[in-house]
Structure 1
């Protein structure tokens, strides 16, 4: 791996060229490159990560069959994204960024990884009844399933099978459980992941100057939507200007959308629902005319933040076509 022999090269500007395709990489090709890699590595069929439907976050699969190099690659990917100002559509819980900064995951981090488990452990921690053992009947041996559905066990401390959780030791149990899930069970995978991240960022001031929350914004962007700023920064092509009736209708519709719809529009146009560092004014979106009025839906070139709009005859027609596009055209309208 080139990164192992020449890690300093990772801190140079990345230029991407797809085999068999022409064109200079002015940012759009690199963006597509990152998007394709993220989609592949986080594919559930690969099995490197698990996805929690409640928290909507990915977590490291402690039983992944992938070798350390694959997790190192994802760490490198995060570092490269920062150096190349590319927003990644990666949904990690905050504890991942805390751990990248050298901290350990604790009970308070569990909610973003497994909300159901945290609630259960919270109920145990807060229970004050004298019938604690009768209610919970829990020892320091925990159970889980492997990728094939087989039941496995793990002792949180020596002899855990024979040590019952009581009022006196319940806090120890909760802390050990959280430590196992967030740290010990994924130690090998996370060590490789962090190694890759540090290959790129070890000489940067990230750890000294940035909090974990700020690292997340650098990697994934913000979720604060200022569409007034986006309107001011947007440019037009194909015959549209900011005074074109279709453009005035477009922004009237956009500003009337609820936040969830605005997020979908951002996803449809840019490939991610996150806001770049510095806000939406940094997005450099282009709205281009895509022919006369028609029944066709809007389309987009997500790699270049280009929204292609037919010159719809009315605001109502534009609203109808745009909402259909952002709600139902995922994977078809984005080019």
Structure 2
């Protein structure tokens, strides 16, 4: 076991209700960057040998992902075959509308949807049966939500979409498109 000070003399400072947010911020920074700093530095050194940092700086992370991977081919039938339903069934009217609307989306809108619902715009190599969540393999799931005036919401760690019980296909289309177009870029709210 190794003790790492997240801030000067951190090992001697108790985590309290007053400083818990700072602790979480520092712990997250440590886990995601500081603890793997050497690997990140080596990766960036190799990347910058091929592509100058000034050219990479022109793009945000989503644009860079699309440049590297291209626009994915998203097979709605494969997603449908690998979906679990909670308080909905595959025969529920709203679920039927949902699949119809997704089928009518352009490839770009489907990529937005995938990013919104799963946290990535890429389809796993083995198709949607290979989706992974925070607990390992985890299928896409569609959950009934309440409040037809609300937008759909997503839990990307669980590949979960909470879909309100909308009164019509048109309302579902409008709300889903608004949610994915405004909320596909990460930790945001639509």
Establish whether TM, by shorter chain, passes 0.5. yes
CA gap 1:311/1:72 in 2 versus in 1, 3 angstroms: same
2:37 corresponds, among 70, 78, 86, to 70
Where does residue 10 of structure 2 map in the other structure?
none
Where does residue 8 of structure 2 map in the other structure?
none
SS in 1 for 2:174: helix
Structure 1: any 5+ residue segments left out of the alignment? 3-18, 20-35, 42-66, 79-91, 116-219
What is the CA–CA distance in structure 1 between the aligned matches of 2:41 and 2:118, rounded to whole Å? 22
Per-residue deviation, residues 65-87 of structure 1 (Å, max 9, x unmatched): xx996132677xx9xxxxxxxxx
What is the CA–CA distance in structure 2 between the aligned matches of 1:68 and 1:300, rounded to whole Å? 29
Per-residue deviation, residues 155-199 of structure 1 (Å, max 9, x unmatched): xxxxxxxxxxxxxxxxxxxxxxxxxxxxxxxxxxxxxxxxxxxxx
CA gap 1:72/1:322 in 2 versus in 1, 3 angstroms: same
1:287 corresponds, among 142, 153, 178, to 142
What is the CA–CA distance in structure 2 between the aligned matches of 1:329 and 1:68, rounded to whole Å? 30
2:103 corresponds, among 247, 255, 267, to 255
* Two-structure CA RMSD over aligned residues (Å): 3.7
1:1-335 equivalent positions in 2, closer than 5 A: 41=33, 70-72=37-39, 96=47, 105=50, 110=51, 114=55, 223-237=72-86, 239-283=87-131, 284-291=139-146, 294-329=148-183, 331-332=188-189
SS in 2 for 1:307: strand
Q: How far off its partner does 1:329 sit?
A: 3.3
Structure 2: any 5+ residue segments left out of the alignment? 3-14, 16-27, 57-68, 132-138
Per-residue deviation, residues 9-36 of structure 1 (Å, max 9, x unmatched): xxxxxxxxxx9xxxxxxxxxxxxxxxx7
State the aligned residue count: 141
Moved >6 Å (runs of 4+): none
Could you tell me the TM-score, scaled by structure 2's length?
0.61
Could you tell me the TM-score, scaled by structure 1's length?
0.36
What is the CA–CA distance in structure 1 between the aligned matches of 2:145 and 2:127, rounded to whole Å? 27
Q: 1:286 touches 1:306 (CA, 8 Å); kept in 2?
A: yes
Q: 1:233 touches 1:282 (CA, 8 Å); kept in 2?
A: no
